[in-house]
Structure formats: C-alpha cells, structure tokens
Chain A
Amino acid sequence: MVPDRPYLGIGEARPPEHQHAPPVRTCAAFRPDGDKTADSLVKALDNAGLSDGMTVSTHHHFRNGDLVAKQLFEAAKALGVKDLVWFPSAVFPVHKELIPFLEDGTIHHIEGSLNGPLGEYASSGKMRGWAVLRSHGSRYRAVQDGDVKIDVAVIAAPSCDRFGNMTGAFGPSACGNLGFAVADAQFANYVIAVTDHLVPYPCAPWQIAGNYVDQVVVSEKIGDPAQIVSGTTQITRSPERLMIAELAARFVAETGVMHDGWSFQAGAGGASLAFTSYVGKAMRERGIKARFVRGGSTSFVVELLEQGLTDYVLDGQTFDLEGVRSIRENPNHLMTSPFNSYNYHGKGNIASILGCALLGATEVDLEFNANVVSHSDGKMLHGIGGWQDALFSQCTILAVPTFRNRVPIIRDRLTTFCGPGELVDAVVTERGIAVNPRRQDLLERLIGTKLPIRTLTDLKPEAEELCGGPPDPFPADGPVIGVVTWVDGTLLDTLHQV
C-alpha cells in the first residue's frame, strides 16, 4: 500500500490506535504430534491458498547468499499464480535472478528498498507498481499498523524442527540472527519455514517460536554460506575512509560522547568497521568501556565483547563467522529484532537510547538533511536499511567524503529527501567536521581541540571547486516509480524514472 499522508515533522503524525492482528487459529487444525512438514514448497504454498495478487515476504538474513526467494517464486510460478507483491526485508545483487519473474508477471512489484540490479530495473521504469521504501523499523511498523498485510511469509531457517521452532545460530547455512523475520512470523496470515537442517524437536534455543509457523518445508539448500557471511570482515584500505573513521572516533572521544558506560552502533560498510576499530582503541587507551554495542556483528564487535570493552552486543544482523560464533556461544551477545531496535510505533526502541550512530549518506544539504537511497543521477541504488531509524541516536554522525567520483556530496538540494537534518548531529568528511548548529553543547566541548571543525557552507565550495562547479540538479521530470516513507509511515519524497 502506498501511504497517502505527507511527512508532518518528527513525532507529529499519530499512529492508528490499534495494531493489525493476525487471524486466530486453533490447535485443532494442527497435528497433535507437532509435525508441520510439507513435502515441498509448492505443496506448502498451495496449502496456504496462494493466489493472484497476494503479498509474500522473505528476509535478508542470508544477504547475497539467499536461495529461498528464487525457490519461492519458482514454486509460485509452478502453481500458475500471478501478480504477487514481494515484500522482502531487503534485496541484494543476487536477487537479479528474480527479474524474469517480474517480466513474466509472477511478481507484480516489490514493496521495499531496492538496490543493485533491481534498483536499476525499477529506476528505468520497468516495474509495474511503485517501490515503497521503508526503513527496517518502518517495515515492522507497516506490518503492525496494517499498511502491509502479508499473506504468506516464507522464512529461511538455518536450523528448524518439525514444529517450526527455528534459529539462525546453527546449521550449514547459519547466519546468526533471524530478527528481520519476526514481524512476518507474528503478523502474516500464513507462515512457512524453509530449512536445509531439520533437527529433532526442540530446535533449541529457538529464535522464532514454532507456534507462529504453519508449515515446515525441507529444501536441499537454502543459502550459499560463502555469500551469507564472510569468513572475516576486513577494514577498508581506502585512506579517505580511514581518515573519516579516525576523525569520527576522535570526535566522539573529544566531545565526551564516548564515556564510561556509553553505547554505539557498529556497522560493516564504508567507514564503519574502521570506526569500530578506532573507537575500540580509544576505549582501551582511556580505560573506559561501553555498556552495549549495537551490531552489525563482526569480528571487531566480538573482539570488543570478548576483551571486556562492552558488556553486551545487541545484534541486529550478523555479518561474519565470528559474529555467528559469538551469538551462538556468548549469552551477552543478544539477538534483537527491528521491533526491539527500530520500530517507531512501539513503546520506545534501542535506536533512541543509543549514544552514537555512525551512518553513511549519498548526499547532505546545508540543513543537514540527507539522502541515502539514490545517487545524484536519481537512480535508486541503496536500501534505507536501519538508516532512518538510527538517526534517532543521541549523537548521529554522517560519515561522508566531500565528493565521490567528481560528484560533490554537500548540495543545495537533495536528489531524494530521506532523513531530516534535525536528527543529524555532525557530518564528518575527509576535509573536516561540520557540527549541526543545534548542537552548541558539542561545539563547546570541541573548543581547544585540534579537530578540524568546519561548516557545511565552507566545505561545499571546496569540493565544488575540485569537481568543476556544483552538479546539474536531477530534473525529476520522469514518471514516479517509487516513494520514500518516514519511520512513522508518512510520505517523504518520490523517486522518478531515469
């Protein structure tokens, strides 16, 4: 469903009074021995009553190693079902193999952030419906509020029993955390678990309880382990990203954002791993520790936990084998779902408790508003992920270069508005740090430090001079192909055909 309410400002739009609820079921409809296995995905989908125009969901905890989405649409096609709406928690380059299903009418459109080949496909106007871009938190919210009614959820389960209890911590396709599938398990009309590692009851400890699950299907292979988690995640060698990460780490150290008992969000992309590493070093030198790190779990986060530099890891997604090992073995490495971490229509979430989040952006304007989904040529190239949700942290830092490949990042006007500048506390670039004037407290704490404090107004012309002037603005005159929504479900901006 495309939202029809415009953005009203942070915290202004009020939610519906009651949550969408899944239909009530009876145990009488299930075998008393708890066996919910179906012979095949085709059979399970048939049992689910899959029919034209329904909404089906899958999840991205297998990242680029996901084999389940394709199996789902192959099965749907075998049943002759058309015009499905695919509601993934995120898409990856591997999902370019779904383009034939978009072309043959099995899939009508994709309801979610698009990137890579699917982003190109949608940006070129080939997809029939609009892409509705939501953050991870807002995806949970959309399901809870009833904006999206999932008819059939298909959950890839690295380890599962016949009842449907499942975990991502064990099995040949172990991926760590299954949190992204929690909303679907709770709210979908019909839930199918697909596993390549069926274990005798109980699959313990489970991350998602089998009480939510209608059917269990055993598949030969549900994921490509090499693409699910990398063996080890590696810090960027890009000197510019390293410099940005180091400046950001010095910034949090010198402003006191980093203090004993603080918390921060650790990611895996861009400058994030290096930031985690620099922050770890600074904590070690200063003899302080974090209360929790929100991951993006990687070997770097696990190292902080095991060296006692943080009491807890609150895991949102597990990126490498060390992360998988830690979530399996360490009771202080906890699985969280977008409900815990990001959902805006709940009674609070982790994001706003977080002391600090370091995020990327494709563009920033002079008011600190930012774009994360499109490039300056208007193409939809990145998912929102948890980006909008994490903006609510107490110190949100955008780590960006001042230009990428001749294109200046600081602009008069964003190509796509994805996040309000009120929530951005600082922009860290290779040419200096711009602190949001709303944060006079941070600016005061920086007096007397050697950090290169600049303003966006001052950084912008410097990059433009190198790049040969400001870029021509994106005309946005093509047909609308998608919309960007805010964490509360209101409408932020439109995406256009390129």
Chain B
Amino acid sequence: MIEAIALTRRYRDVVAVDRLSFTVGKGEIVGFLGPNGAGKSTTMRMLTGALPASEGTARVAGFDVFEQPLEVKRRIGYLPENPPVYSDLSVRSYLRFCAELKGVPRRRVAPEIDRVAERTGLSGALGRTVANLSKGFRQRAGLAQALLGDPEVLVLDEPTVGLDPLQIREVRELVKGLAGEHTVLLSTHILSEVALACHKVLVIDGGRLVDFDTLEGLIAKHLPGRSVTLDDLAFLEDIYGKLVRPADSPAHPPGQPAATAAGARP
C-alpha cells in the first residue's frame, strides 16, 4: 500500500533521508521510530507529497507520489507534526473546510464531520474557536481532519503529542480500530504506544533504515530467549485510568467508578 523506493532527501549538504526503501502492506499498522532529526517527518512529508524527494520515489495505493500526486492525495489522510489548524475558525468550520478540500461529497460533509468528531472526542467542542482550545484538542482537531473522507492510508506524525494518558489510549484504540481496512504509518517517541498498537516497527537513524520487522520478529532478533508480555506495559495507565476521569467527560456518573467511565481495558 505504501512503497518507498530509495527515497532520498537532501537539504543542501545535509542528507536527511538516505535511500530509504520499505513496503507497507494493506491493513498494516506500522510504528515509525527514530531519534529526533532521524528523518521521520521528512519521510512522511515526502510520502504525502508535501515535499519532493531529491532522489528515489514512493508509491501509495499503486500511484506514484510524484507522477500522480492528486490520486495519492485523495487516498491519504495526513496529520503533520504541527496540527494544521486555523485559530480564527470554529472546529466545525475548520473540519468543513478540510472536508470540502478533500472532495467529500457535499451531502456527506455534515455526517462525516460528526463521525470524525465522535471518533476523536471532539463532539462537544465543534462550536468552539480553535484559538481557545487546549493543545490536546488542537491535536485532536488535526487528527479529525486526517480521518475525514475515510482515506485508505493514514500518515500520522506524532498523533499523541500533547495528549494526556487517557486520550493517548483513545487515540491508540482509534488507530487499532482502523487496522484491516486502513493502512497506518505513525511516528512516535513513546515506545509502549508502538508495542500496544502496531503490527510492525520501522526504525530509522540518521536517515537510514535500521530495522523493519514485526514485533515478534524484533523480539526474536534482538532479545533472544526473553519472554515479553504486552499486557504488563499498560499497568500504570490502568491505575491512572482508575484515579482520574477523562478530560472531556464533565463528571462521573453517580455510583460509577472513573475507570469504567473511561472504558477500562478488558
């Protein structure tokens, strides 16, 4: 679904991304890891057509990013590093603007806005002006924008920055819910996120591919003989979820513990 072929980007003398090649299959969720400045955002910008490659190319859903950019853009939802929101607009106008730019059919625009707002927990904030939103809500508005039109491929550059732990969990559940139908490439610095949400992990360093494998493959390769259970990763989050209530719910329903209100992990 996503195919990078010797993708290279140079900024004057600096090589940000160096002959990067990888293939992401349909329905896979791939975590994109690497230190700051490793070239993650640059790669994502090249895949979405925001930035031309110096050399090499990329194909998304079978279309070449540089030969048929409009076809590619129709199929990609992209959340850039800085959520691209307009502070003067309300969340609803912002999402309507994005939906129209993405060619969502006129009659589908309003239901589509409600759908993505619901999925990103923005339903209560649709009438608010973006300038008055917290960092977390802006991030969610950016994420909602990427989901508009239900694109086949989602490229999410650090979707959980600025979110609190429970919101991070919501985004993770959202991303997991996209698996199968959608192909997701998401970058993050939170390693447990990758372990909990992704099928495969792509690691780059200094613009070069270091490893690209499934979680099991990575464990077998780099931690031979060690048994790892993913459930243990989330224990602190479960405790936290029992102690506080989600930011967007006004109060606990009477007699109901906070953890159930937040939808505790089964």
Tell me, yes or no, whether A binds B.
Answer: no
A interface residues (Cβ-Cβ under 8 A, vs B): none
B interface residues (Cβ-Cβ under 8 A, vs A): none
